[in-house]
Amino acid sequence: MNMPRNKFAVAVAFITLAAGFIFMAGYAANAPMPPAVIGVVDLEKVYNNLDSRSDLVKRIEDMQSKMAEDASSMQEELEMLSAELESLSPGSGAMIEMNDKAISISGRLRAFETYGALLIERERAADLRDSYDTIRTEAGTLSKIMGIDLVLLNDSIPMVDLADAAGTLQQISARRVLWANETLDITDELIARLNGQGG
């Protein structure tokens, strides 16, 4: 006699739980999502204030200085050969030999200058890439601490360069942020963390 009642009670409890789950699932699906917390960063300012870049910038400047000295030395040697060539008899063996030497030095100078420019550009590109990776990682860490969901690059800060109409329009069209409230800016906090001052 009690068995049917127990089965009925279990069935009622099961239906009640199922209904509750369905209700909660529907509520969760229809509940409004909280707005995303957004931060913005002035990337150029971050790059220009990174302490870690100062050593690398100095190394690149030293490379440029050394290359300029080497190029100047080759240029001086070339000028000396040119002056000597003027004193030699046209068509003489000495003139032919010295002319070949001048051509060789001139070719080495051009190749050295081209190689030097490529080497400097490669170093600068590597610096920018490595710095960007560091900035991106630290921005993620800072965002988790501050409860930020999304960090955008605030490209509305730099002035638009006045070129022709098409060039100016291209600069404007390339931008993704039209305006951002200063309270959203985490640039200074990010710089402090990157330079070891923000904990």
pLDDT, one tens digit per residue, over 16-43 is: 766 666 656 555 556 577 888 999 999 9
Together in a domain, 66 and 26: no
Q: Are residues 38 and 3 in the same domain?
A: no
Closest CA to 38 of 184, 189, 187, 186: 184
One domain for residues 46 and 23: no
Could you tell me the maximum CA-CA distance found in the chain, to the nearest angstrom? Answer: 134
Query: Which class for 66: exposed (0-12), middle (13-18), buried (19 or more C-beta within 10 A)?
Result: exposed
Residue 82 domain-assigned (yes or no): yes
pLDDT tens digit string along 120-164?
999 889 988 999 999 999 999 999 999 999 999 998 877 888 778
Question: Do 56 and 150 share a structural domain?
Answer: yes
199 in a domain, yes or no? no
25 and 45 housed in the same domain: no
Q: What is the reported pTM?
A: 0.63
Shared domain for 10 and 75, answered yes or no, is no
Nearest to 88, CA basis, from 78, 76, 101, 98: 98
The residue with tokens 């930020």 is 148
The pLDDT value recorded for residue 129 is 92
Single-letter amino acid code for the residue at 164? D
Judge if 27 and 93 occupy the same domain: no
Same domain flag for 13 and 81: no
Residue 26 shares a structural domain with residue 60? no
For residue 53, give its domain range.
32-194
Q: How confident is residue 101, by pLDDT bands cut at 50, 70 and 90?
A: confident
Residues 45 and 27 in one domain: no
Residues 153 and 85 in one domain: yes
